[in-house]
Structure 1
Amino acid sequence: MKINIQQLDNSYSDELIDLILTIQQKEFNVPITIEDQPDLKQIESFYREPGGNFWGAFIEGELVGSIALVKFDERAGAVRKMFVKKEFRGKELNIAQELLGVLVSFCRENGIHSIYLGTVTILKAALRFYERNHFVEVEKENLPTRFPLMNADNVFYSLHLKENQTV
């Protein structure tokens, strides 16, 4: 199976909403709706225009994963919308790792040195994934003041990119 990762724009909103809400609501019972995430209908204005981006992982034309970067400061960004469909997760396809690699490369190319993210404790595999990739847990009160908080998040991480570090 060949994985194709590409930038997304507003034309992918419906596919993204289907992917993300299914995982949030049905798989993990996170009490979140599309109304809580209007950014999914504004990919270009919310993510890309301020200097971030949004990527999707496709296998045979099907959207199976996503990751986004919100640039919230001159040299800092927040990882958002990191999701991989259940049946495509794991080391075999390594989709999450590929997506994170694309985001980190984008950050390096665009002078973003610090990456932050918020997630929820229920997502144990996600927590292990971030820690394996050198993210360090940060107390909420130590986040940058402009970090875009999401209500559901209760665990926070940061990664400060070093010159030769790979993820």
Structure 2
Amino acid sequence: MDKEIIVSLISNITTIIVGIITAIVAYKGSIRGAKEQIEHERQLLNATTEEQKVFAQMAIERFISNEIKMNFKQIFSKNLANSLNTLNQPFDSYINTAKSFSFEEFNKVKYELIKTKSNSIEKIIKIYDMFYLIERKNDISRYTHEEFKLLKEAYSICLLEYWEK
């Protein structure tokens, strides 16, 4: 073979090898860059979603807080508070409600409430469980042990967090 052909052949093979290596490096670099970009976008989305959840939870709690306060005013009595604080089992007493409880705000947001797990959301759900229980049964002596336990817990939460003295 002629010397020029050999040099040309070696030059072409070298160019092809360099082109292949460049393509592989560029491919791997673009894949890595894309993965990093996706991860960065995912982190931004998670941060935004978390902020939205916190804001939504705060808004829900504020809207529902007034309804809880209004409902609790209907059932608050010092005698009931003292009895629930000292007794561990159902006792002879009636919870008098002037009118039925309002569940309007709770019904509007209850599906949003169950999307977020937090201590305050669990408390709100307990409180509304208590309101539903009292609406069904106002005779405490007819409560099961679990119902009485719920009443005590929720009433205590209302006293500590929602009662305006």
Question: Of the two structures, which has the highest relative contact order with CA contacts closer than 8 Å and spacing of 6 or more?
Answer: 2
- Tell me if TM exceeds 0.5: no
Q: Which has the higher helix share?
A: 2
Q: Which has the larger radius of gyration?
A: 2
TM-score (norm 1): 0.25
TM-score (norm 2): 0.25
